[in-house]
Every structure is written in C-alpha cells, then in structure tokens.
Amino acid sequence: MRRSLPIVSTLIVLLAASYFLIPLYATFQFSLQMVRGQWSFEAYRSVFNSDVFAATVTFSTIASLAAILVGVLIVVPTAYWVRLRLPRWRPVVEFVSLMPLIIPPVVLVFGYVRLFGSTSYLPLTLSNAGTNTLLVAGYVVLSLPYMYRAVDNGMAAIDIKTLTEAAEILGASRFRTIAAVIFPNVRSAIVSGAFLSFSISFGEFVIASLLNRPAFGPYLVQIGQDRAYEPAALAIMSFALIWACMVLMQLFAARKPGGRILPRLIRPSARSVTP
C-alpha cells in the first residue's frame, strides 16, 4: 500500500498538470503556424512590431505600478494600525478587504461612472487624467484582497508591538516607525503582494474596456476579433508574464520577514551613552 501511494499521487499530479499544459501547448503550437508549411515566430514578430502593442503594454504597466504604489500606501498603515491598536476590528477589515471578490468588476466600474460622471460634482470621466485615476482606483480595489493578505501575513511573522515600542523609545514618530521599521520588515510580503497585484491588473479587461482606456486587456480582445495567430501569441506572452510574477512572488515569499534592527533611529546622544 505504501508503494502504491507515490504512483497514485504522481498520476493525479500529471492529470492535473495536463489539464493546463495540453491547451497551453496547443495554443503555443498554433501561434507558430502563421507561415504555412513551417513553424516560425512570425506571429510574435508581428506583435512586437505593432505600435499599438507597445502603447497598450506601456499604459497597462504604468497603471498597474501606480495601483501597486497606492495599494501599498493604503494597506500597510491600515494593517499595522489594526494589528497594533484595533485588534477587535480585524474581522471587519478582513471582510471589507474580501468584498472585491464578491462584487463584480462591472458593478464597480458602473458605480464609478455614476459617482464621477458628467452629471456629478466631481466629473472625472470628462478628462483622460480623471479616467485614468478611476482606472487606477479600480485596480487598487481589485488587488486589495491579495495585497492585504500578503501584508497581513508578513506582519503576523514579526513582533509589531515590540518594534513600535523600541522605535518610540529611540525617539521615532509614528510615521517614521512605519516608514523606517515596519516597511523594511515586511518588504518581502509587500513585494509578493505587488507581483500578484500586477499579474491581476495587467490583463484586466472589464474596467479598462468600460472606461475606454488603451490597456492591454481590451487590446487582446480586440485583436482576437480581427486576426488568428497574433492572439495566440499574445496569450502565450501574457501567461509567461503571469508565471514570471508567480515565480518572483514565491522567491520573495520564501524570505522570512523580520531580522532588521533599528540603527538609523538611534540618536547620536543615545549612541554615546554607555551602560
């Protein structure tokens, strides 16, 4: 019985892997058949030579990075304050962070249009900058469950109370404690959440399409309606990007949070004092 367990588990893993790898291989093989009678990377070359592809990738990258920055600035202080001062509110905050998984993105974007449309007091949809702001806000909301879980798990691995008390004894303000002590100690957790957020925001379609933004997700759908081989190449490249983010996330997640000391917070007078 013990000898049969590795065989059964191996078969289960192979069947589960084939469910994903076989369609992926078929898509990759189809993307190489743009030139009849031979396999080539002509579809990939055609995609890279397109100016629209470069513009959409650049736009989605900038929007995703902006969403990551805003998400970190919101999530890290919130998770820190909830764990330090408001532990009873933690279930409520966790429930709120899970709401984007329950509310569909189409409801979210129609709410944005309703609140910030042309008839509102703050008509952000009338300008490109305002619409881009709504897009980044939508990306922040979509990535909130993943960013909050990553940061909260990172803070659970360190002693926030002791670090805060040590920083306050050394004369640090609350803002400097978060910036110089908490951020470095949960850096690996923040980076893991950032990669996961980037993989979600980069290929997002619903919000970018309804806000009429030149993002990568709508471009992928649009090119799929006009051509045959280029969409397969784009799908392979998007999968490769997501997998690269997953690998980087695992590498950073393997680093244990903590292990940082507070030398920059020590005042010169405190360093010169001898016990």
What is the per-residue burial (b if ≥16 Cβ within 10 Å, else e) of 110-141?
Answer: eebbeebeeeeeeebbeeeeebbbbbbbbbbb
User: Would you list the DSSP string of 190-209?
Assistant: HHHHHHHHHHHHHT--HHHH
Query: Is residue 195 classed exposed, middle or buried when 0-12, 13-18 and 19+ CB atoms within 10 A define those classes?
Result: buried
H or E segment and range at residue 130: helix 128-156
Q: What is the mean pLDDT of each run of 10 residues along the chain (275 residues)?
A: 65 87 89 85 88 91 93 93 89 91 90 85 88 94 92 88 87 86 87 87 91 90 84 86 77 57 47 41
Cα-atom radius of gyration of the chain, to the nearest Å?
Answer: 24
CA–CA dist 133, 124 (Å, integer): 8
Domains of the chain, by residue range, sit at 51-266
The tokens 């893993």 sit on which residue? 13
Predicted local confidence at residue 272, as pLDDT: 40
What's the whole-model pTM score?
A: 0.82
Predicted local confidence at residue 274, as pLDDT: 42
Of the candidate CATH numbers 3.30.1330.10, 1.10.10.10, 1.10.3720.10, 3.40.50.720, the domain formed by 51-266 belongs to 1.10.3720.10
Task: State which amino acid sits at residue 192.
Answer: S
Predicted local confidence at residue 60, as pLDDT: 92
